[in-house]
Amino acid sequence: MQQDKTILAIVDDHPMVIEGLKSLLKPEAAIYTTVSFTRGREFISFLSQNEVDLVLLDISLPDVNGIELCKEIKKISPKTIVLGLSNQTERSMMLQMLQCGASGYLLKNVSQDELLGCIQEALHGLITFSREAKEIMGRPSKAGLNEVASITKREKQILELLAQGKTTAAIATELFLSPLTVDTHRKNLLQKFEVKNTAELLMAAVQQKLL
Amino acid sequence: MQQDKTILAIVDDHPMVIEGLKSLLKPEAAIYTTVSFTRGREFISFLSQNEVDLVLLDISLPDVNGIELCKEIKKISPKTIVLGLSNQTERSMMLQMLQCGASGYLLKNVSQDELLGCIQEALHGLITFSREAKEIMGRPSKAGLNEVASITKREKQILELLAQGKTTAAIATELFLSPLTVDTHRKNLLQKFEVKNTAELLMAAVQQKLL
DNA sequence: TTTTTTATACCTATAGTTAGGTATTTTTAA
DNA sequence: TTAAAAATACCTAACTATAGGTATAAAAAA
């Protein structure tokens, strides 16, 4: 690549957001080249063929989950810097993004200054947050107490079926498993969420936005 | 006022959204003049001194609630056309906006074509929706079929305790009732929601925003 | 390549829920 | 004030979930 400009990618399903970001980045058009994508998959296939210095990644895309996408990006191109971008003011989401290799997190209410500042910081290898995101990170209130249970794919699947009111036996049939296996997963879910029955489990899952 | 261009106002607390909208409106810059505001109050004071033909109004502003703002706008300047703008795909929210005098509703994932089309339609006095908003309005499923189960105070109380994972016996003790009575209420809840177990019941209640 | 995690499957009891009723008293609304 | 709705309480039997384990193979991660 003969390009010496920094390449920024924007991944967001809202054309309006893409245009907004481009517009906010315009003053620095001399140093940044921007490309944009409305689907996570599109960006991944682009990334496997091109270099990208930094990506502004919406974490709530229609096709893939932002956390997963972030992992994939870091796998394909570890030096691409990922900044999470979202409306969600969920501490847990921010932490998850960082855990998956993101270099920071911006809320969609960023000002132009913040945006440009954060991009610069991130490009220099720093972890960075938009003002409001910083504030949220700054209050450890919920984090300490409300730890997010990390669940496996199978567990997620079973959780969803439980939410549909299905019994262990019905789930076993549906997934071609032994009811005993389903029961084990179910018990593991109860343990992970530190709850004692399905009702509590579902409410906890709803609260953690897993359902 | 000697202005013959149509005056569009954008009210949104996200600079990015404002820039995005302006950018999407650019092809029509010859006919539209745009002004933007990040606070509802700011816009109201502008409106009392200036004419505005149409306003794109974010319904989730930090200072005032979108519904209230819409009412105020229509009170101050009845001929200003209001289009609701939001991420929320809540049917009820859309209906509320219309009830308060809005001429339509756009989701923030609108494409440029939709945006320009909807603005034109609204300016011609029509009620208009973005594609996805239309889809949501188009399914009477939830409104018609999924009638909100009306539950009694006692039932609500028991529903909440069930959501906390409490057993019939525990609820009975807490409410100084016979377990058999609690059981009857529980059964009535299952019937009203047309579900067959507590898991499904809770999910239905969450969906109907009863929990 | 070794270790850890995930997914699979099993066992024994006990606890709790659901389905099918009926029936009386107290509130609330017409 | 009278009818309807809500809250109370009971019964039996069948079904389902939970608690307390153990164990092994297959994936993923280190």
Secondary element (H or E) of residue B122? helix B112-123
The answer to whether residue A31 scores a pLDDT higher than 90 is yes
Which CA distances in Å does A160 have to A61, A163, A199, B166? 20, 5, 13, 21
- Partners of residue A86 on adjacent β-strands: A107
Inspect the interface and report whether the beta carbons of A108 and B17 lie closer than 8 Å. yes
pLDDT of residue B145: 39
pLDDT of residue A137: 64
The answer to whether residue A199 scores a pLDDT higher than 60 is yes
Q: Are A77 and A108 in contact (CB under 8 A)?
A: no
pLDDT of residue A83: 92
Q: What is the distance between the alpha carbons of residues B102 and B82, in angstroms, rounded to a whole number?
A: 5
How would you label A128-160 residue by residue, b for 16+ Cβ within 10 Å and e otherwise?
bbbebbeebeeeeeeeeeeebbebeeebeebbe
Local structure of A198: helix, strand or coil: helix
Strands (E), chain B: 6-11, 32-37, 54-58, 81-86, 104-107, 128-129
Nearest to residue A84, comparing CAs of A60, A100, A106?
Answer: A106
DSSP labels for A97-157? HHHTT--EEEETT--HHHHHHHHHHHHTT--EE-HHHHHHHH--HHHHHSPPPP--HHHHH
Average pLDDT over residues B63-88: 85
Question: Hey, what are B133's tokens?
Answer: 């908003």
pLDDT 10s digits, A103-139: 888 988 899 999 999 999 999 888 888 888 777 766 5
pLDDT of residue A149: 65
B168 CA from C12 C1′ (Å): 25
The answer to whether residue A171 scores a pLDDT higher than 50 is yes
Number of H helices, E strands in chain B: 10, 6
If you ran DSSP here, which 8-state letter would residue B33 be given?
Answer: E
pLDDT of residue B139: 53
pLDDT of residue A134: 77
B184 CA from D20 C1′ (Å): 32
Lowest mean pLDDT segment, chosen from A15-29, A136-150, B180-194: A136-150
- With bands split at pLDDT 50, 70 and 90, how would you rate the model's confidence at A92? low
Average pLDDT over residues A164-176: 92
The answer to whether residue A93 scores a pLDDT higher than 90 is no
- Calculate how close chain A gets to B132, using CA atoms only, in Å: 12
pLDDT 10s digits, A177-189: 999 999 999 999 9
Question: Hey, what are A56's tokens?
Answer: 């502004």
pLDDT 10s digits, B121-167: 999 988 888 888 777 766 543 333 345 667 888 998 999 999 999 99
Nearest to residue A8, comparing CAs of A85, A71, A100, A94?
Answer: A85
Task: Looking at mean pLDDT, say which of A86-100, B98-112, B141-155 comes out highest.
Answer: B98-112
- Calculate how close chain A gets to B98, using CA atoms only, in Å: 23
The answer to whether residue B184 scores a pLDDT higher than 90 is yes
Q: What is the distance between the alpha carbons of residues B108 and B17, in angstroms, rounded to a whole number?
A: 9
Q: What is the distance between the alpha carbons of residues B53 and B125, in angstroms, rounded to a whole number?
A: 11
pLDDT over 70 percentage in chain A: 90
Subset of residues 148-167 in chain A with CB less than 7 angstroms from any atom in strand D: 167
Inspect the interface and report whether the beta carbons of A16 and B21 lie closer than 8 Å. yes
pTM of the full structure: 0.67
Sign of CA dihedral A26, B62, B106, B8: negative
Lowest mean pLDDT segment, chosen from A135-139, A167-171, B24-28, B58-62: A135-139
Residues 6+ apart with CB under 8 A from A25: A8, A32, A34, A115, A116, A119
